[in-house]
Amino acid sequence: MTLFAFPGQTAFYQGKVRDVYTIGQDLLVMIASDRISAFDVILPRPIPGKGQVLNQLAAHMLEATRDICPNWLIETPTPQAAIGHRCKPFAVEVVVRGYLCGHAWRTYNEGQRLLCGVLMPDGLKENDPFPEPIITPSTKAAVGHDEDIAEARILEEGLASAGEWEQIKDYALKLFARGQELARERGLILADTKYEFGLRGDTITLMDEIHTPDSSRYFYADGFDERQQKGEKQRQLSKEFVREWLIANEFMGKTGQTVPEMTDEWVETIAGRYIELFEKLTGKAFAPRPVNDDETFRIISERLSKLS
């Protein structure tokens, strides 16, 4: 993916999926790449169209939740790019779980009942709903794996003040409730997700993407209860199927493990699942646009000149 040098650019950071450009002191440009990561490892092949899916779906969801809390997004000038407010991030990812799946299930299945200091009730099976959504934070590592962290440690280490953390939790649960509502309207179940927050001045602000397949897990609502009763695998739309494929091929991002080969067919399958989720959640047909670097640079530069 092309790296740009925008007018007024003061810093650049390449994340697992996004390229982030700081403009002056107050603006960010995020360009969503077609890279895909799992277990905090960037996989060797890009997924065509993924960046456009993520960027457009995140924008859709940020607009649909803007009444709940302030967010960073100003506009999406191109299919893969977003311009927004620069915030000082809290070094915590706020993971909200409504169902026992993914990392929570793997922890539970090992016999553990405490996750990030939260007690999970006995007697649950994979993909069962929790009595109420739980928050299981993780540290946001710049390099390597994120790690689970309990609320007490967040406060002890000063990652957020008590007041900030209470506000963050309140926002996260309200965002999750809205996400579940939006999913239900489209025949899906939002099982879990993560949010990132930062400070814009003194204002706690929602950052990055929300309710996308990279940050969330969705099940199909139709037939969910019947599959649970029969102990059958749930139909889902999320990146979890990529993680499951990696686990089946003995890769979980640990030292010495090798990423299995990604065939053309498998790359096309992943791309199709991303598009399916976009169309299912938004009710709109996904129309990928050719990416022209010169046009991208021109459009973003023009928008920045009007915002700076």
What domains can be seen in the chain, in order of their start residue? Answer: 88-242 (3.30.470.20)
Rounded distance between C-alpha atoms, residue 118 and residue 112, angstroms: 11
Compute the average pLDDT of residues 148-165. Answer: 96
Give tens-digit pLDDT for 5-55. Answer: 999 999 999 988 999 999 999 999 999 999 999 888 999 999 999 999 999
Instruction: Kindly indicate the confidence band of residue 239, based on its pLDDT and cuts at 50, 70 and 90.
Output: confident
Rounded distance between C-alpha atoms, residue 50 and residue 299, angstroms: 21
**Tokens describing residue 248:** 């089946």
> Per-residue DSSP letters for 46-104?
--TTHHHHHHHHHHHHHHHTTTTS-BSEEEEEETTEEEEE--EEEEEEEEEEEES-HHH
**Tokens describing residue 131:** 């009595």
Q: Cβ(100)–Cβ(136) under 8 Å?
A: no
Instruction: Kindly indicate the confidence band of residue 131, based on its pLDDT and cuts at 50, 70 and 90.
Output: very high
How high is the pLDDT of residue 1? 66
**Tokens describing residue 96:** 């909200």
How high is the pLDDT of residue 240? 80
Give tens-digit pLDDT for 51-69. Answer: 999 999 999 999 999 999 9
Contacts of 308 (CB under 8 A, 6+ apart): 8, 23, 24, 27
Vertex 127: Cα angle to 124 and 131 (nearest 5):
55
Res 196 pLDDT > 80:
yes
Q: Cβ(141)–Cβ(67) under 8 Å?
A: no
The torsion angles phi and psi of 84, rounded to 5 degrees, stand at: -155, -175
Give tens-digit pLDDT for 75-124. Answer: 999 999 999 999 999 999 999 999 999 899 999 999 999 999 999 999 99
Give tens-digit pLDDT for 72-86. Answer: 999 999 999 999 999
How high is the pLDDT of residue 141? 62
Total length of the chain: 308
How high is the pLDDT of residue 140? 74
- Report pTM: 0.91
Res 289 pLDDT > 70:
yes
Q: Radius of gyration of the chain from Cα atoms?
A: 19
Q: Cβ(179)–Cβ(211) under 8 Å?
A: yes
Res 146 pLDDT > 80:
no
How high is the pLDDT of residue 308? 77
When comparing pLDDT for 173 and 287, which is higher?
173
Res 145 pLDDT > 70:
no
